[in-house]
Structure 1
Amino acid sequence: MTVFSDKWSARAKQSGFSMIELMISMVISLVLIAGVVSVFQSNKRTYITGDALAEIQENVRIAYDYIAREVRMAGSGYSCLANVTTVQNMLNSTDFDFNFAQPLEAYDNGNNLPAALSGVVKSGTDALVVRGTYGVGAKLETELDNPSASLKVTSIDPPPMGVDDIVVVTDCRTASIFQITNFSGNGNSGSDNVVHNTGTGTPGNQTKNFIYPFQAGATVIKTRTIAYYIGTNANGESALFQRATDQGSSDTIEVVEGIQDMQLTFGVDTNDDGLPEGYYTPTQITDGSIGAEWSDAISARINLLVRSIDDNVVDSISSYTFNGKTITPTDKRMYREVSFVVAIRGRLQ
C-alpha cells in the first residue's frame, strides 16, 4: 500500500498547471506585453516629435544663415557706412538685376513683383532683394585716366575677378559700376589690368567714361543681386529659394524645404539718430505713406513659418499663430513661427 500511494503522489506532482493557473499566467503576460507596447509607442512618439523639432530648428538655422548674412551686408562695399553720395551705373541696364543704386528692397505678399520673380513667388508671401559686394577686393594702383577703358589694380593670386564680372570701384564717396570685358592677370606680382569697354558682354557697358577721377587706393570688388522668396519645389512642397545674379546671368537654388511663409518688416530711421522709429511693411515704404524711403531702412525683421516635412507628427490638429493671425491647418505636421532682426551694418551710426 505504501508503494501504491507513493506512485499516485508522484503522478499528482507531475500533473502540470491547472486551467486557472494558466489563465492567470496569460493575463499577467498580456499586462506585461501591454506595458511594453505602451512604453514603445510613447518612446516612438517622443522620438518622432523630437526629430521633427530638431528638423525645424536645423531648417531655421540654415534659412537664418543665408538671409542674415546678405541683409547684414546689404550695399556693403559701395555704401561704405552710407557715405557714398553718388552711384554711377555704367551698365546698359538698370532693371531688377542691375539696380545697384537700391541695395535693399522687398515685395509685399507677392504683389507688384518684377518680371524676374513673377510666377515663382508663393502667393501671399514676401520676397526680399539684397544687392551688394562679395569676395576679395583689389586696390587701384594709379589714378584713373578718363576716358579710359582700363584700370590698373593690385595683383592678387588667385585673381579675385575676371571677364563678365560686374564690379564696383569706390572710394566711399562715389561709386561706379561696370562689367569687365577683358582681364589680364599677373599672378601675385605687379598689377592686373581690368578692361571695361563697350560693345560686348551681358548686359554690357553703355560708357567707359567715369564721372569721377578715382585715386590710387580706391577699391574694385565684385557685385551681385540676391533675392530670397518662398516657392514650390519639385516635391510640391514650399521651400526657401535663392536667386542670385552674377556675371550678367542668374541662378536659382533651393535653400531649404519646409519654409511655408516669410513676412518682412523694416526698421526705418527718418531722423538719422541711428534708431528705428518703427517697423513697416514693404508696401508702406514703397508707396511713401510713412514718408520714408528704402535708404532709410536700417534693419529688417524676418518672420518665418516653418513646418515639419513629415505628416502625423502631432497627436491632433491644432491651431497656430503666425504674423498675428490664428490659422488651423488640415494636417498633423508641427508648425513653428520664428522671428529674427538683422541690422544693416553699412547704415548703422
Structure 2
Amino acid sequence: MGKDRQPDAGLLKMRNRQAGLSIVEIMIAMTLGLILLTAVGGFYVAQHRNQRELSNQFAQIENGRYAMDVLTKYLENAGYYGNYVYMDDFPNASATLPSACETDAQYMYSTSTGTNALAFAVQGATSATMSATFPCIPGANLYSDNDAFLVREVDPTPVASSTLVARNVYLQAVARLKDPVITTGNKVASFTLTNLDGSAGEIRRYPPRIFYIGRCLDASAGTCSTGSDIPTLRMLELGDTGAATDFTDSPMVEGIERMVIEYGLDLKGSNHSYVDASGVTHVVQYDGAPDSYSRSLTTTDQWARVVALRITLLARAGRITAGYSDTRSYTLASGVSYTPSGTAANYKRKLFRKTVYLINVGSRRR
C-alpha cells in the first residue's frame, strides 16, 4: 500500500480561516443586536407608557361616573322619612333655616326656633358661605372654590328596636299622627308610636349626610397623608362615633376636583295662594317640577322649594401626564369657570353634568 495522501496546504489554511468569527464580525453582530434590542425596548416602553396613560384616563372617567352615581343615589332618596307624611312644604318666610351641622337629635324635627327641619330635604353652600353654613366641614381639608350640600333622609330599611346603636339617630313615624319621634338609640323607650292596628311604628336610621370636596384622600387633623394629596369627594355622615353623636368624615371618590350645584326651584304661583273676585282664597297647586335654577339661594322660602339639583363635576386624572399642559378654561355652571395653572395643568380632566330630581319632594307638590 502507498503512503497516506497529505492534505493540501492551501485547503488547511482555508479551513483554519473558517474556524471562527473575526473581531470585526463580532462587533458588527453586537451592534446589530444592540440596535434590535434598543428598538424592542423602545417599543415596550412606549407600549407601557400608552397603557399607563389609557389606564389613567379610564380611571378618571370611571371616577367621574361613579361620583355622579353616588350623589344620585342619595339625592333620589332625599326627603324620604318613612311613614312621616305631614310635610310642611312651605315654611313661614320668616322661619330660620335649620342648622346643617345639627348633632342634637331633639332639634332634628322642630328646631330651637320652631322650624320643621324635615321640610328641607337639601341645604347647600358655595365657597363664600361655606364656613357659616357648614362649620362641621374641616376647613384644613376643604378644597377651595367648591360647593357643598346636605341631604336629609332616613335609610329605606326599618330596624328592630332591639338592634339600635346607642348614639345613632333614628326616626319613628306612623301615618295617623303628625309628629314623628327622632332620638338616639340609647333612648329606645321613646319610640312608642303605634299604627291603627296597635303594631309598633317603623323605626329607621336618620343619618344626615354632607357632601364636599376635600383636598386629600387621607387626612388626619387636616394634614394630608403622604401620597394622598389628591382632591376627593368626601362625605360627612351623622352617627355613633364611639364617643358621641357626631359626623364621621369619609372619602368617597378620589380625583373629583370641582363640584358646582345649581338648585331647581318650583316657583309657580304667587305667595302660595290667591283670593278671587268673590273673596275666596285658593291654594296654588305646584307641579313638583323645577321652573328655574340658581346656585346661590338666600331665603328659607327658596330652600323649601328645591325639587332638583343640577350637578357639575370636574374629574382629574390621578397621575400627571408627561409633557402635557392643560390650557383649557372649564366652564362649570352659573358663570363659574376654572383654568388650571402650575403643576395642576399637567393633569388631564373631564367634565360631568347631570340633573337629579328629588322624587320624594316633587311628588308631594303635585
TM-score (norm 1): 0.70
For 2:60 and 2:177, the matched residues in 1 are separated by 44
Aligned-pair CA distance for 1:27? 4.3
Aligned-pair CA distance for 1:215? 5.1
- Whether 1:101 and 2:119 are equivalent positions in the alignment is yes
Match 2:49 to one of 45, 48, 69: 45
Identity %: 16
- Whether 1:179 and 2:183 are equivalent positions in the alignment is yes
Counterpart code for 2:122:
L
- 1:324-335 to 2 correspondence within 5 Å? 324=332, 325=337, 327-331=339-343, 332-335=346-349
Counterpart code for 2:188:
F
For 2:182 and 2:125, the matched residues in 1 are separated by 27
2:294 maps to 280
- Structure 1: which 5+ runs fail to align? 139-155, 185-192, 197-212
Give 3-state SS (helix, strand or coil) of 1:47's partner: helix
Aligned-pair CA distance for 1:57? 3.5
Counterpart code for 1:286:
T
When residues 35 and 118 of structure 1 are mapped into structure 2, their CA distance, relative to the original with a 3 A threshold, is closer
Counterpart code for 1:67:
L
Match 2:142 to one of 99, 116, 121: 121
Query: Residues 305-346 of structure 1, C-alpha deviation per residue, up to 9 Å, x if partnerless?
Result: 2223333x3432223443343523433333222223222111
Give 3-state SS (helix, strand or coil) of 1:132's partner: coil
Aligned-pair CA distance for 1:92? 4.8
For 1:243 and 1:230, the matched residues in 2 are separated by 11
Aligned-pair CA distance for 1:230? 1.1
Counterpart code for 2:124:
A
- Whether 1:9 and 2:14 are equivalent positions in the alignment is yes
1:230 maps to 213
For 2:315 and 2:7, the matched residues in 1 are separated by 85
Do the aligned partners of 2:79 and 2:361 also contact (CA within 8 Å) in 1? Answer: no
Give 3-state SS (helix, strand or coil) of 1:303's partner: strand
2:87 maps to 84
Query: Residues 161-189 of structure 1, C-alpha deviation per residue, up to 9 Å, x if partnerless?
Result: 767634142529844343256326xxxxx
- Whether 1:241 and 2:234 are equivalent positions in the alignment is yes
For 1:333 and 1:113, the matched residues in 2 are separated by 31
| Larger helix share, 1 or 2 | 2
1:322 maps to 330
Aligned-pair CA distance for 1:40? 1.0
Do the aligned partners of 1:321 and 1:337 also contact (CA within 8 Å) in 2? Answer: no
Aligned-pair CA distance for 1:25? 3.1
Query: Residues 73-112 of structure 1, C-alpha deviation per residue, up to 9 Å, x if partnerless?
Result: 11102697x862379x9925737xx943322111012524
CA RMSD of aligned residues (A): 3.7
- Whether 1:303 and 2:312 are equivalent positions in the alignment is yes
| Larger strand share, 1 or 2 | 1
2:267 maps to 270
Counterpart code for 2:77:
M
Do the aligned partners of 1:83 and 1:172 also contact (CA within 8 Å) in 2? Answer: no
For 1:38 and 1:340, the matched residues in 2 are separated by 43
Aligned-pair CA distance for 1:43? 1.1
- Structure 2: which 5+ runs fail to align? 1-5, 92-97, 99-104, 220-224, 269-285
Give 3-state SS (helix, strand or coil) of 1:171's partner: coil
Give 3-state SS (helix, strand or coil) of 2:206's partner: strand
